[in-house]
Amino acid sequence: MTYKHFFIKAPIVSLSGQPSILFDGKQANLLEALEYKKVKVFSECRNGFCGACKTKIISGKVSYLTEPLVELEQDECLPCCCIPQTDVDLELAPISNSIHRVKNDSSSTSPSTTHLYPEKV
């Protein structure tokens, strides 16, 4: 009987080179682990649909619990639906840069509306 599987090293998650958390699997995904340690990460759907939490991977590897629906570059991940496979170093976007703003026409008093199928409006 081997005990190797009992002694697997938990991945260290660093933020811009600074070790921040030890991912021990107590949280369901990387986003929840970061939030548990009071790291602010902008997110919306929390399921890999919207891409709001898109984060740059400086080094390391992640695996996905569910396949994200947004297109990602090789050096990007969605913390809401992934877990670290190795030690990872992430570069979080500032919260102010992550907020999606709806563009309003300044001459109108009502908020603008985005139509998913504009040809049917």
> What is the residue-averaged pLDDT of the chain?
83
Q: Which residue has better confidence, 109 or 90?
A: 90
Whether residue 101 has pLDDT greater than 80:
no
CB atoms within 10 A of CB 67: 7
| pLDDT of 108 above 50 | no
Q: Which domain holds residue 41?
A: 10-98
How many structural domains are present in the chain?
1
Q: The tokens 């030890």 sit on which residue?
A: 22
Please count the CA atoms within 13 angstroms of the CA of 70 that sit on its side-chain side: 19
2: in domain: no
Supply the pLDDT for residue 4.
Answer: 63
Helix (H) or strand (E) holding 57: strand 55-59
Q: pLDDT for 27-72, tens place per residue?
A: 999 999 999 999 999 999 999 999 999 999 999 999 999 999 999 9
CATH number of the domain that residue 69 is part of: 3.10.20.30
